Structure 1
Amino acid sequence: MSASPQDRTGADDDDVHLPPNKRARILSKACENCRVRKSRCDSSRPHCDPCQKKGITCVYKEKGQPGIRPGYGKAMEGRLSTLETNMTKMSESMQEILALVKDSAITANVSVGPGDTGMSSYRPTNESQSIMNAPLWPTNPCQDMSGLSQDPITEPMNPPLGKMRSDTLEGVLPPRAIMEELVQLFFEMIHPWCPLFHRPTFMAQMTLPERQILLHAIVVVTFRFWDKELSQAETRESYVKTSRDFLLLKTVGTCTLVSTQALALAALDALGEGTGPKTWNILSMLVCNARHLSLARRNDSTYASTNTQLVRNEDFDDEMDITNIEAEERTRLFWVIYSLDRLSSISHGQSGGIDTKSIRVAYPVGNEHWGQVSTPEWFQPVPPVSPTHRGCSNRLWHYQIDLLALVDRSNQLLIQPMSFSIPAHCQEWQNSFRRIDTMLTNWLQNLPQEDREEPGFFSPMWITLHTTFHLIRIRLYTVAAFPSTTSPYLRPSVAARGRCRQVISEITSLVKNLKTSDLDRLGPMFAFVVWVASRSLIILWTTGYEAAKELLPPDLEILLNILRQLSMRWPCAQKYTEIIQLVLERKDSSGGATILDIFNDTRRTSYGLQNRLKPASAPSLTDFSPHSFDFLDVPGLDMDLTAPWDGPNLSTALGGDWL
């Protein structure tokens, strides 16, 4: 758009002195005063009419041109090119420095003589040590590790050549030799009752970068078993905390088979710490990962032809293009998640997160058939009356999976809301109770003789199987004997007290001969079973069922001693021990009756008990919330004892005891 002659009038004198190639200046059509006042300007020169009437100076400024000034883009391009060149040179310099440091470290390790089986004589300088051991992510726990250089365990160790890769184990993980010992401890202590991995494949692939998260998970769950007196407790705690934080941080942002395996071990560690929000959150993540990875189903020709999803998640761990070993790892990972979900739901007083009816997975194959083509044995949501797992080396795990279905049914019975003021509801609850009790009896009678009797050697899976069976029974009988709420239509059962005491005796005889080395090979859920038996025995004892009320029952001494030994490995056992010790010490004091009332209230879990007993306990007990239900609980009862009822009393109709 060209400027009008009137716009260019005021600039004619200036344009005479401009160079011939310079563009003429274009003045604004409105003067500055009119522009500021937003009034109409007639563009008269040298003074517009509004300014002339008001007697103010009229000024026309040069009109700005759109876009960047000429040459600016070319200058910016040159500056960016210079910056990229400098960054490339800096990167090349860093690579040369790292290569020199790694070459010097390898030379020092190889120069160790064959007779030197201890620690390497190479001591890196401060600069090289800081580069080689730099953390793989920003973390606070390992920032202050100045005392590690004087600690023998942190010295560079000489691993077997070709067995470990140094670039994988450097950084926040323990030294290579310690990491090797932790892996061996994992397969000795944890893997027998939590068989997640194919050991030869795991050992061959453990140093791959994408599987480093599994090493962090092993540090979290296994460092508790490393008994060598070569490091301070703070060093171990720092390694464990750093690996735990790294594991949780990585599993939040990824959902793969490997990350879910690591998360399963993190959930196991959380159960070992005790019930609480952290445990609930990790287990929720684990169940969601199993759903996203479709671990609850296994692709086979029969199932795929009759059931097809119109929409499905495009996960890259699809079983259609994986090996038999990876497919079996998926299967075992699901059953480990299923076990953690079912057993943790008992301690939390909540329903499980996995729907049994949606499971389309085979049972785990025997270790000798891992990776081979074999006919799968498919899981049945309703366990058969007679177990059919004969001839399989993993049959104890198969029985455990079947038993977990009964764990879920009994738990649903105990946590379902009901009204004690309606006789029909009470009658239905009693009938369901008897059906589950009968199913448990039949399950044990149909168990093969070699699996029903204790083997001649220690078997963690056999102990886990039978303690789970006793856990279901003791929960049912304790609820029937000491319900948190009673009514004329559902009274406490005297027969249930006798059966509860019998189950406690069976658990005591099962665990009293276990050695310390045997207890180390059992998990935190075993500690929970011992806690359940101990608390039920104290309730029976303090309510007058035991013959000698003044003397401590011998079975309680045995169970309490087992908890003390388990507390050396699993903090949850220490919490159980502290609660029991507090009750035993204060039961005869001035406030002992109140403490017993709180402890004997079967509505409360250990999570709630620690909160309620905290004012009277030692300061070591941590804060807990009281809002949770117990393994002995019948929650959410809507009771109205004033409702009219003309029918017969249910307890009288059943001969005085409904059970």
Structure 2
Amino acid sequence: TFIEDEGRRRLFWMIYVLDRYATIATAFEFAVDDKEIDRKLPCKDELWARNQPVETRWFRPANRHFEYHADNPENLGSFAYYIEILGILTQIHRFLKKPVDIGALGDVEQWQQEYRQLDSRLSGWKYDLPSQYGNMLRLHIPGAAEHVNCIWIMMHITYHTTVIRLHSSAAYPSTKSPIFTPSFNASQRCRTAVEDICTINTHVRTHNLLSNLGPPFAFSLWVAARLLLVHGSTIDHLVNPAIHALVETLRDMGSYWEVADRYATLLSRVLAEYDDSERHSREPPSSVKILADMRRCAYDLDFLISRQPRVGGAITPRAGRTPAPNEL
């Protein structure tokens, strides 16, 4: 029956979701390769619940050519769009893993071209969303917010996380060169995305939805809080106090999910060390410099910072390839 087929399809897509977050947070390879996926997107929840057979479009990775013509956007819901934005996040994750010699013009031009292509695809995805899914103002409209469910929240917060992941590499490069300098526009895009994540976080807490959300939500809060800390410590030299609400939410989520507590602990430590250095007019601690390396994933940062002496001392080296000084 359709309801059984759709159930199996949704099971596959949930495995896809888990694989994406497990990989993006740890920098391992994806277990499910987009190029091997030949499956349609899930339909709206209400159509599935009614056992109403409908057609949906196929999942379309950017590096595959499709001749399927059926689209049927009226049959798609938040879950389908959530999967699509995760597909774009997957491409960005792979893009950020590629080493780039920022002293070589050819490398930089190639990087910038791919960066613009990903930005265009990300913006196009957002532009094409139907209004009932793409308009975040629903969070502020009386009555409309009641129809905002957890998967809608995850779709939006993942979009903003994807914006940060892409543009933070251009806004806060760990190394610079005459032909590769920080982008102010990318920094603004990141900060706007963080503001939207903070808005979503407030909505979740106000409507007591936190217990219904898991590690993927915590990951987005971590990405936003890290951006605030990096921007505040390296650019403004004043950390936006909005970070405290994000850390508090992560700490509360730690009651259910250990990874959220790890994020909160890591952020709290770096924030405390930075505040201490500011009070005593010292150089920013090395933990801030480690956190500011936007190439590093959460697993790397946890490993490096947790093994670093809190006062002085060297960082314990980590096995594995470290980007060269001239690589982004």
For 1:593, the equivalent position in structure 2 comes to 285
Q: CA deviation at 1:415?
A: 0.9
Which structure has more helix as a fraction of its residues? 2
- Distance in structure 1 (CA, Å) of the matches to 2:191 and 2:36: 37
Q: Residues 60-209 of structure 1 correspond to what in structure 2 (within 5 A)?
A: none
Q: Which residue of 1 aligns with 2:41?
A: 363
Decide whether the 8 Å contact of 1:328 with 1:370 is kept in 2: no
Matches of 2:55 and 2:71 in 1, distance apart?
A: 13
Unpaired runs of 5+ in structure 1?
Answer: 1-322, 619-623, 630-634, 641-659
Do structure 1's residue 544 and structure 2's residue 235 form an aligned pair?
yes
TM-superposition CA deviations, 1:365-421 (whole Å, max 9, x none): 34444584724324132479xx955433x5111111222221122112111233333
Cα distance change on mapping 1:343 and 1:628 into 2, 3 Å: farther
Deviations 1:260-284 (A, max 9, x none): xxxxxxxxxxxxxxxxxxxxxxxxx
Give the match for residue 152 of structure 1.
Answer: none
Aligned to 1:391: 74
Kindly report which structure 2 residues correspond to 1:624-639, keeping only aligned pairs within 5 A, or say none: 626-627=318-319, 636=323, 639=326
CA separation in 1, counterparts of 2:72 and 2:226? 35
Deviation at 1:347, TM superposition (A): 1.3
The match for 1:611 is 303
Q: Give, in angstroms, the shift of residue 434 of structure 1.
A: 1.2
Letter in 2 for 1:395: G
**Aligned equivalents of 1:614 and 1:636: distance in 2?**
20
Q: Is the 8 A contact 2:176 2:182 kept in 1?
A: yes
Equivalent AA in structure 2 for residue 598 of structure 1: I
Cα RMSD after superposing both structures: 3.0
The corresponding residue for 1:483 is 173
The 3-state SS of whatever aligns with 2:90 is helix
Matched, 1:497 2:176: no
Matches within 5 A, 1:360-509: 360-367=38-45, 368-369=47-48, 372=51, 374-382=53-61, 388=71, 390-392=73-75, 395-453=77-135, 454=138, 455-457=144-146, 458-509=148-199
- For 1:611 and 1:408, the matched residues in 2 are separated by 23
Deviation for aligned residue 1:422: 2.4
CA contact (8 A) 1:484 1:602 kept: yes
Number of aligned residue pairs: 301
Paired residue for 2:268? 581
2:254 aligned residue (567, 570, 578): 567
Q: Which runs of 5+ in 2 are unaligned?
A: 139-143, 311-315
Question: Does structure 1 conserve the Cα–Cα contact (< 8 Å) formed by 2:41 and 2:59?
Answer: no
TM-score (norm 2): 0.81
1:327-358 Cα distance to aligned partner (Å, 9 max, x none): 33321111111112223222122442322232
Q: Distance in 2 between matches of 1:572 and 1:431?
A: 35
State the Cα distance separating 1:593 from its structure 2 match. 2.2
Superposed displacement of residue 518, structure 1 = 0.5
| Helix, strand or coil at the partner of 1:514 | helix
Worse overlay, 344-353 or 576-585:
344-353
1:474-532, Cα deviation, whole Å (9 max, x unpaired): 01121111223333332222222222112111211221232273011111111010001
Over 3 Å counting, the alpha-carbon distance change for 1:496 and 1:595 in structure 2 is same
Deviations 1:177-223 (A, max 9, x none): xxxxxxxxxxxxxxxxxxxxxxxxxxxxxxxxxxxxxxxxxxxxxxx
Please say if residues 604 and 628 of structure 1, whose CA atoms lie closer than 8 Å, have aligned partners that are also in contact: no
CA distance in 1, matches of 2:51, 2:185: 51
Letter in 2 for 1:603: R
1:447 and 1:422 mapped to 2: Cα distance?
A: 38
Once residues 460 and 578 of structure 1 are traced to their aligned partners in structure 2, the CA distance between those partners, rounded to angstroms, is: 25
The letter of the residue matching 2:85 is L
Q: What is the CA–CA distance in structure 2 between the aligned matches of 1:413 and 1:616, rounded to whole Å?
A: 29
Show CA shifts across 1:55-88 (max 9, x none): xxxxxxxxxxxxxxxxxxxxxxxxxxxxxxxxxx
- Between structure 1 and structure 2, the one with the greater Rg is 1
Bigger relative contact order (CA 8 A; separation at least 6): 2
Q: TM-score, normalised by structure 1?
A: 0.42
Superposed, which structure 2 residues align to 1:29-68 within 5 Å?
Answer: none
Cα 1:373–1:614 shift into 2, 3 Å: closer
Equivalences for 1:203-282 in 2 at 5 Å? none
Percent sequence identity is: 28
Amino acid at match of 2:16: Y
SS, match of residue 553 in structure 1: coil
- What CA distance in whole angstroms lies between the structure 2 residues aligned with 1:591 and 1:421? 28
Give the distance between the partners of 1:472 and 1:628, measured in 2 at CA: 26
